[in-house]
Copies of this chain bind each other. A is one copy, B any other.
Amino acid sequence: MGLRERKKAETRAALSWAAIRLVVERGFDNVKVEDIAAAAGVSPRTFNNYFAGKGDAIVSRHLDRLRRAADDLRARPAGEPLWTAITAVALAQLEPGPELAAHPVADQEAWAAGVRTMIAEPALQGDLLRAGALAEAEVAAAVAGRTGTDLSKDMYPHLVASVVMAANNVAQAHSLRAGPHVSMPELLTEALARIAAGLPPP
């Protein structure tokens, strides 16, 4: 990888991280694009060369994570049953990545609260959902490759991808509602199991 690409990746990461940190700390409307650019050490104009808006910058890490999960699904052993592979990848994706170690958080509690109010921001939910839709397309491709179905002719891979993202979102939302008493891995496993069972009424 050349110097050029490396610097681009660094700038992009710096901008995204700065956006997240500032918004979590101060709230969405109390952060101007100008602030984010300054925190990342670039001009305000440059921010828009990397992201179309505040929302995109914030969501980009999330999107990367989901994309990586789609890749992981491709990388699972070919013989493995589909739902086994999906569950494994979904659970693996919950583990905090190495980028968390690079940006330690002082007050864990305040950070979590900030994140909650951040994702509650209406302006961001659109961007979050769009990121989900983007990732969904890649998951669908992975599922198609795995099951030998045709992306453009069969609904099946899209259906699976969409439903898996739904399970993810629902488990996440439920975890926020219920507090940290129940563990995400359990919720996600339950959600996926229920879906694979056809969602019979309880």
Chain A residues with CB under 8 Å of chain B are 81-82, 122, 125-127, 129-130, 132-133, 147, 149, 152-156, 158-160, 162-163, 165-167, 169-171, 173-174, 177-178, 187, 190-191, 194-199, 201-202
Interface centre among A132, A170, A197 (most CB of B within 10 A): A170
Chain B neighbourhood of A201, CB < 8 A: 81-82, 147, 156
Specify which of A166, A191, A202 lies most central, judged by the most chain B CB atoms within 10 Å of its CB: A166
Rank and list the top 9 A-B pairs by shortest CB-CB distance, nearest first. A126-B126, A129-B129, A198-B198, A162-B166, A158-B170, A166-B166, A155-B174, A126-B130, A147-B201
Indicate how many identical chains form the complex.
Answer: 2
Given A133-B125, A162-B170, A167-B159: A195 in contact with B199 (beta carbons within 8 A)? yes
Q: Which residues of B contact A178 (CB under 8 A)?
A: 152-153
Chain B contacts for A158, CB-based, 8 A: 170, 173-174
Asked if residues B130 and A163 are in contact (CB atoms below 8 Å), the reply is no
Cβ contacts under 8 Å, A202 to chain B: 147, 149, 154, 156
Closest Cβ–Cβ distance, residue A201 to chain B (whole Å): 5
Bound together, the chains give a CA A187 to CA B153 distance in angstroms of 12
User: Once the chains are docked, how many angstroms separate the CA of A146 from the CA of B122?
Assistant: 29
Q: With A and B bound together, what is the CA distance between A171 and B69 in angstroms?
A: 24
Assembled-state Cα–Cα distance A158/B168 (Å): 11
